[in-house]
Amino acid sequence: MQPTATVLVYSDDSNTREQVRLASGRRPAPDVPLVEFVECATPEAVLRELDRGGIDACVLDGEAVPMGGMGVCRQIKDEVFNCPPVLLLMGRPQDAWLATWSRADAAVTLPVDPVEFASALAGLLRQKRLVGA
């Protein structure tokens, strides 16, 4: 059985969550595990899933409503012990300073570019594997 990585995807927009799944595919890079997704449409669901454990990386939509992924990221970095690495989806490249403020580990712009996204997610999964080893 092949190892898998569990990736939490937070967005109130089902189309954004689908873009993330499609951009990643089953494996974002040959040297990282297969990916399984846990989808969340509310900040409360994100916190519930992180409390359950087993999340290897998070993808948070900075444009989500009512609470954007930047605010969610900052909150989980403060409140979740051993918080998984976070990939933030930003509306504009000019929002990079907000990604830094939120303490995201990586950021890409919307709409999701499959090559850029898969590369960023694979980088976080590699980081998680090295830290967790």
Residue 1: per-residue pLDDT: 62
> At residue 33, what is the residue type?
P
CA distance 55 to 109: 23
CATH class of 4-113: alpha beta
38, 9 contact by CB (below 8 A): yes
Comparing CA positions, the residue from 9, 39, 18 lying closest to residue 114 is 18
From 33-37, 117-121, 126-130, the region with the lowest mean pLDDT: 126-130
pLDDT band at residue 50 under the 50/70/90 scheme? very high
Give the mean pLDDT of 73-97. 95
Tens of pLDDT along 8-47? 999 999 999 999 999 999 999 999 999 999 999 999 999 9
Gap between the Cα atoms of 119 and 47, Å rounded: 26
Q: Pick the residue with more confidence: 132 or 89?
A: 89
- For residue 130, the model assigns a pLDDT of 59
